[in-house]
Structure 1
């Protein structure tokens, strides 16, 4: 039968191990207050495209594919969406400014 001091060390060791696990889990899965919260799209909005934003709208499929190709050549991912007879070119918000620059340069040259 272990003596009282051995039991105390076992209990203290177990508590220390639990504290280390709690700190590790908090560090791994804890929330960071500096991370901006994502803007959530309204699921009931028929014009919402989730995280994507419209950078251009063109009247035909060929024009939409040409613009999508220009964006792809510049390394910008783009998605096409049909809206009646028109097509929307959609990009992620981080790529919106660069996509506008690429598409405006294409119109000039």
Structure 2
């Protein structure tokens, strides 16, 4: 009986050491680095809209919603956001700017 205990103990100890090394390796690879600060401001994007480009600015949220729905009906992805200078901005991706301006320049037939 005493001889059966040694191989089991070795296997359990081997698994425990392997898990500990794996945990340390993962911590080292994916752990949080508190000394690294993430950039919060982009000097090239003064309004902080990221990849989006403003195509129109309207005074209220209802007008922004109507224009956004008009763009979406034409298959153009759009969103709205409060503008820094007041009002609401209608934002689209850079590749959709030209099409969005064409759609917005048309009069509504509703």
Aligned pairs for 1:13-92 (under 5 A) are 43-44=42-43, 45-83=45-83, 85-92=86-93
Runs of at least 5 residues in structure 2 that lack an aligned partner in the other structure: 1-40
| Count, aligned residues | 68
CA distance in structure 1 between the aligned counterparts of 2:54 and 2:109, rounded to whole angstroms: 20
CA deviation after TM superposition for structure 1 residue 108, in Å: 8.5
C-alpha distance in 1 between matches for 2:107 and 2:65: 13
SS of match in other structure, 2:80: strand
Larger radius of gyration: 2
Q: Which runs of 4+ in 1 moved over 4 A?
A: none
CA root-mean-square deviation: 2.1
Q: Which runs of 5+ in 1 are unaligned?
A: 1-41
How many angstroms does 1:46 deviate by? Answer: 3.9
Q: State yes or no: 1:95 paired with 2:96.
A: yes
Q: TM-score, normalised by structure 1?
A: 0.55
Q: Determine the C-alpha separation between the residues in 2 that align with 1:55 and 1:90.
A: 6
Using the alignment, how far apart are the partners of 1:79 and 1:60 within structure 2?
A: 14
**TM-score of the superposition, structure 2-length normalised?**
0.55
